[in-house]
Amino acid sequence: MSEAAAQLHAEIAACTHCAEHLPLGPRPVVQFSANSRILIIGQAPGTKVHASGVPWDDDSGDRLRGWLGLEKTAFYDPDVVALMPMGFCYPGRVSGGDAPPRPECAPLWHDRVLTQLPQERLTLLVGTYAQAHYRPDTKRWSMTDRVRRGGELAPFIPLPHPAWRVRMWMTNNPWFEAETLPALRARIAAALARNAYGVGDTGYTV
């Protein structure tokens, strides 16, 4: 990890900006390096991730890795994958589930993290919060529209959030598994086939 990336990691880890709003206290969860060629922008940690400090360390993460065709070894290698949620800390609960990501987090940190990453990268927007932030022009679209019309949202690739509720959505939208996921895995494989200097093989397979 570069010195600049390591310093930014340290600053994020020490952040207490939203502490008064966090029922379990601050524990920022993020992963990146100057070599990350795949960027996954998600939602916010749940209680399991807050407890472990490991991003996507839950059933949703298992489902996401299955969609991408990535083993944990590659997924948790910051020289391969950057994991940057819209909110770095567990935001608590509201009626019906977890609260939205804290709104202060992305303006504070996202641009600084993005400047550390390679310009040539694959960026996945997982869930409606990431999609609304990075493609506000699609605010009138449904999540299904964004995913199905993903080719119109380059350089971003929109995906549904892989929570348990997505199983019914996938049943109602069979094109996602039949068409979207194979194309996505091909793009992941292409990203894995190039190292931080743009040539060669990372040694990972999908």
CATH assignment of the domain containing 174: 3.40.470.10
pLDDT of residue 205 exceeding 60: no
pLDDT of residue 26 exceeding 90: yes
In a domain, 66, yes or no: yes
In a domain, 205, yes or no: no
Domain count across the chain? 1
Q: Are 60 and 162 in contact (CB under 8 A)?
A: yes
In a domain, 169, yes or no: yes
For 169-189, letters b (16+ CB in 10 Å) and e give ebeebeebeeebbeebeeebe
Q: Are 76 and 31 in contact (CB under 8 A)?
A: yes
In a domain, 202, yes or no: no
pLDDT score of 194: 73
pLDDT of residue 201 exceeding 70: no
Domain range holding 56?
3-192
Average pLDDT over residues 26-42: 97
In a domain, 21, yes or no: yes
In a domain, 97, yes or no: yes
Average pLDDT over the chain reads 93
At 90-134, the pLDDT tens digits run 999 998 789 999 999 999 999 999 999 999 999 999 999 999 999
Confidence of residue 84 (pLDDT cuts 50, 70, 90): very high
